[in-house]
Amino acid sequence: MGDGEYTRPGPAGRRGSTHMCGEAMNDGAVPASTAPKARSVEFADSIARADTDAARAVLSARRMLQEFDLYYTESRQIPSLAKRAFENRDPQTSLALSRRRLSLYSTSIHELGEELREVLPEIAENEALWDNVQDHYVPLIEGRYEADLAFAFIHSVRR
């Protein structure tokens, strides 16, 4: 690997892939540069087909959980990657991982918030719709180890 690169571990049973630090990452199924766009397009298509606010709330809750899971998975991988960079005496990768870790949460909520406002503009003004989204989101995170962080995530997006 070159300076500023690291191998991101893949999901169980899958080989990881090499990325430049700070580059968007995913599970390897879609190139990193197109994964967020593909999720956004799929979400927009689903919202367009939904015929009720309740259906849009369910889809929005699922999309928020999907984005939270991506954030959480990456945030849990960065410390071991940073440790490996330190042990390999790779300061460029170590610094890039530190920058990524510091910006990951805010980047995730900002991009998801923009996506929601694009595909569902009424969510910015409709408190009842937000409450409905949250009502569908909370059962999806109940019982999870990181439920408190997932709950904070939806409130951060809502702001």
Q: What is the CA radius of gyration of the chain?
A: 17
Phi-psi category of residue 4: left, alpha or beta, with phi > 0 → left and psi -120 to 50 → alpha: left
Residue 101 · residue 146 · CB < 8 Å: no
Beta pairing partners, 6: 19
pLDDT in tens, the chain (159 residues): 444 544 444 433 333 444 444 443 433 333 344 455 566 678 777 877 888 888 888 988 999 999 999 999 988 988 899 999 899 999 899 889 888 888 888 998 998 888 888 888 888 888 888 899 899 999 999 999 989 999 999 889 887
